[in-house]
Structure formats: C-alpha cells, structure tokens
Structure 1
C-alpha cells in the first residue's frame, strides 16, 4: 500500500528531477496539474556570498502551492520532492539536508548512494525517502539502509539509466518488496503509465517529456531537439560523468564528438563539485530517455499532463473491455 502522501494523485506519476532542467516553475506547474513535481537540490545554485538559493526555491514552491490549495480546495496540488545526490563529490549535501529538513520537504529522492542519515532526516521531518536503483542488489541495500520506497531505473531511461529490462527489474524486486515502487524508463504516454502498473510498479517516473515544456529550464534548441528526436537518436555513454547515461546524439555532434566512437570513463571521474575539461552533461551534452518519440511539440506542462491523464483513462477503459 502506498503511503498517504503518494495516494490521491490525479494520475500515478512522479516527475523525475532533471539536472539543470527542473526548477520551481516546472515543479509548481507539475504539482498544480496533479502529479508529483521534483527538482535536484543542486539545481539551486547561488553565487558566492549570497544566501542559499535552495531556501528561496522551497519558500516559493510552498507558498505558491499553498495559495493554489486555498483557491482550489476540490483540486489540491500534488506534493513535491527534492532530489539529493548522495555522492562523496557533493560538498553541499550536509547543508542541503539541513535546509530540506527545516522546510519539511515531504518527499526525498536520493541518487548515487544510499545513506541512512539522509533517510533518517527525511523521516524526522515527516517525509518519506525514495531511492533510485538500477538492479536488485542495490534495491535491497537501499531498503536495508532505511529507504521507504524504490525507483527502478530501467533501460531506456534518461540520465543515469540502468541496463536491465523493466520487466526483469520489477519482477525481481516484487519477489521480496511490497512497498512503494516507481518505474522509470521510456515512459511518455498514459498507456505506458498503465503498463508500468500492470508490471507491478505503483507509479511511473517520467522525465524527458517534461524537457519540452514551456516551464522547463532548458535552452530552446534542447527542447526542439527533444521534439525532433526519437529512440534511435539516444546514445549510451559513460564518458561525460563516469557512469553510463543516455544522451541525445545531435548534442554530442554539436560538441565536436562522434557519438558512434566515444571513449569510456571510470566511475572515479564522477564529480558534482569540480570543473572538467570534457563537455559537460547536462549543459552541453543533453540527456534524454528513449521515450521521446511520443513528444510532438513544446507545450505547457499542464497540457502534457492533461494528455497523459486522458491517455491513461482511455487505456484503462480499453483494458476493462478485454
């Protein structure tokens, strides 16, 4: 059974936190439209000497969603989530945990490492902790360290995607875990959301389609590239972060590299705090999952969510007639 905070969503969808792309505008639009919006804490980057931008973002999100709820008591906004990159190179982690705890962030998403103290901080302020994983071994470790739920990042997902089929990954996790399970991997339509549930997931985890929205903090060329590309335009490489990720081939060519002949990089080169001589993911090399063939235009997030909801309802009705 899902915890109360993940129940009563308009459709069973959590928008994934996308580096650089996800900010307050997108999160607020997603939540108002009835799905969980999220952003990485590291996206809130202030200049030296300025107060933490993360505090300003959380204040804005809380205030705008509160105003929406007061004006729309019959259609309240969905909760939001903040993603913490739990990696040794993230020098801001301790500070960002304290801020999220103080602002009582309702949903915490952790990536690139399972840390009991982060889960404890989420629980202490009344939140829940979801951890993203790419295989069953990491899934078990995450639950052992106190995560409440899992995000299964399967083949075809944007960003740091795993190599496993969603069928295999969900199947193995469901053999031992009956808690909250989200599925990520090329989910871009309401039909795919229902398919994720049929496989055994509770909710779909959707990122790439929201790059091509008016509220996304992405260059216009990036948004248009999402619209014009399909699954064949996605390249998997470890070069840019040290961990295997999925990227748009046209952006790799634009950086002067051959997407068909990329070097490999070791996980030890991953760095969320320092500079690099390589083209940077995600500011120069643009990430995306394989599901973008379903994205036909740049549009407001609310319109995209309306379409997801309509497709989801239609798919449920069709299945019921079988």
Structure 2
C-alpha cells in the first residue's frame, strides 16, 4: 500500500521515501541539492552558503537559477520519475544582515520549501507564503514548537539529541510525543537519522519525515574537505562531542577535528547565545575553521560515494524494515 501523504502540503508529497536532507553549513551546494532531489528526497542548502564577493551579482540568485533549471531538465527527461522539491534554509538570527535581501531572492524564485532556524518571525513566514512556499521551522523543545506555529510556520523540524550541528538534548521519543499531543501538522525528526531503520522509527513514533544531514557529508557532491569526509567514515557515535563553544549554540562536533585544532574535546569551555554572529563581518579563531559538525548516526557511513547511493541504501533499508515489522501485525 502506498504511503498516504494527502494530509501534507503539496510541496511535501510524493517523495520516494519520507526524508528531508538537512541544510549543511558550507557543505550543501547546488551539486548536492540537485543530486538529493533527483534521488527522490527534498534537498536543501543554507542561503548563507551562497557568498559572493563585494559588488558581484548575488550568488544565491545564481544558485537558485541553476537548481531550478537542472531539475526542470531532469523532469522533462524523466516524466515518470520527477525530482523532489528543494528547500532553502534561512538563519533568522538578528546578526544575519543579509536576511531581507535573501528573502526577496527566494520569493522571486518561488522557493517551494523554506527551512527557518534560530528564531521564528512572522514576516519571514509571510514572505514564504506570498510565493506559495511552505515553512518548516526547526525547534529543540515543545515551547519553541508552540511559538513557531503561533507565528505562522507550516511545519516543524524537531531537532533531538544526536543531531549534527546545532542540536537539542531531548530524546526524540519525548520531543515528538509532546509535540504530537497538540499539533497534527508536518513534523520532521532530526537526530541520528542515517539508516532506513531509523527513518522507519521516526515514522513509527509520529513524525512525517526523517531529517538527515551527516550521511551526506561523506558524498562526492558535498563541499567538504576530503579529510572531513574520511573522518565521518572512520568515526562513530563515541567520537562526537556536544559543545556551545564554537557558535554560542549547543551542537555536536567530531572530536577528531577538535583535537586537530589543538583543543581537548573533553574539557571545552562554554559560550552563551550572545556570541552568535551570522553576519558577513563575523570573526572566528582560525583554529575553528576546521571544527567539523556531525551527528551521532555516522557509524552507518562506511564509505564516500554519490549522494544518490545514500538515498538508495536508505530506501532499501526502509522498505525492508517496514515489511519485516509489518509481518508482526498480520
């Protein structure tokens, strides 16, 4: 029986598997997004990844044109196997001085899915809705989830313990359950979603989608250093450290990259939210340039390869696990 997604907004229907690729800072570029969408899942990238030199045409506009044209060519050549929609992540924090400009560009291109982070703002949701876009806001607890919906978000990304980059501390079982007690809209779950089995688990506990990022770091299309990709392959959950030092927001990082930067991952100082800065003038210690984010699910990543192969593997695992589990209820 096909998956019933008729309750979801149109832009979120018809995926090969119910998976959204999370936007990865620096790493997510058009080549990766296009590969993810062609493989049948929603691909995404942070708007702030598109950085042009002063005086140049906005790179975000160029990227969106490239993504749309390539996916359109794919769809014309493959009418029976169209690409999934793409998403753009907007950092809504007050330090993002590019936000208004980037919102205008996304409205111009009629971006179908918007992922918002670090602040829920009515005007951002209104901008997305003005061009028919669907807004998913990421949250780490039930309190923030309610605020996001009150301010007009169309869905939520529940960022639980074990997620890569900025992550919460709550168990996914607790977080999804609390949200589902009052909210019946779209929910994606982030936190160690690296296999088809974990994706099925997310669905079983009440999420509509899994939300996966770390598996796509170790792909041919990712804009990541080869050493970063290799460290993902060679690491597992015990190689992850949870720290607020690097951005002012708590998140998960590869211990090996922290050690390579000359720091002790087991004795890191903390930083508060006042140190967050997503503006073009932000300055970070040079040693932090190679501090690499990662979630706890990377033990499932065994080799670097095409992004489409990650989706193929997860799809095979997802359907096999679903059939196996369904047999218990016949």
TM-score range, shorter chain: over 0.9
In the alignment, what sits opposite 2:157? 151
Q: Normalising to structure 1: TM-score of the pair?
A: 0.99
1:318 pairs with 2:329: no
Q: Distance in 2 between matches of 1:298 and 1:246?
A: 21
Distance 1:32 1:114, change over 3 A: same
User: Pick from 287, 292, 304: which aligns with 1:298?
Assistant: 304
Three-state SS of the structure 2 residue aligned to 1:2 is coil
- Does residue 23 (structure 1) correspond to residue 24 (structure 2)? The answer is no
Do the aligned partners of 1:240 and 1:279 also contact (CA within 8 Å) in 2?
no
Distance of 1:184 and 1:320 partners within structure 2: 24
CA RMSD of aligned residues (A): 0.8
In the alignment of these two chains, the number of paired residues is: 321
CA distance, structure 2, for counterparts of residue 171 and residue 193 of structure 1: 16
Report the 3-state secondary structure (helix = DSSP H, G, I; strand = E; otherwise coil) of the residue aligned with 2:290. coil
Q: Does 1:160 align with 2:179?
A: no
Runs of 4+ in 1 over 6 A off after TM superposition: none
Structure 1 stretches of 5 or more lacking a match?
A: none
Query: Is the 8 Å Cα contact of residues 157 and 187 (structure 2) preserved in structure 1?
Result: yes
Contact 1:150 1:180 in 2 (8 A): yes
Alignment partners' CA distance in 2, 1:46 and 1:103: 18
Structure 2: gaps spanning 5 or more residues: 1-6
Please tell me whether the aligned partners of residues 261 and 287 of structure 2 are also in contact (alpha carbons under 8 angstroms). Answer: no
Of 272, 276, 290 in structure 1, the residue corresponding to residue 283 of structure 2 is 276
**Residue 35 to residue 272, structure 1, CA distance change in 2 (3 Å):** same
Counterpart of 2:267 (choices 261, 273, 278) is 261
Name which of 213, 232, 247 aligns with 1:241: 247
Shift of the alpha carbon at 1:311? 0.4
> TM-score with structure 2 length normalisation?
0.96
Q: Does 1:88 align with 2:89?
A: no
Quick check: 1:66 aligned with 2:72? yes
Distance apart, 1:4 and its partner CA: 1.6
Distance 1:279 1:37 in 2: 30
**1:122-177 CA distance string (max 9 Å, x none):** 11101110000000000000000000000000000001100000000000000000
Q: CA deviation at 1:279?
A: 4.8
> In 2, are the aligned partners of 1:240 and 1:280 still within 8 Å (CA)?
no
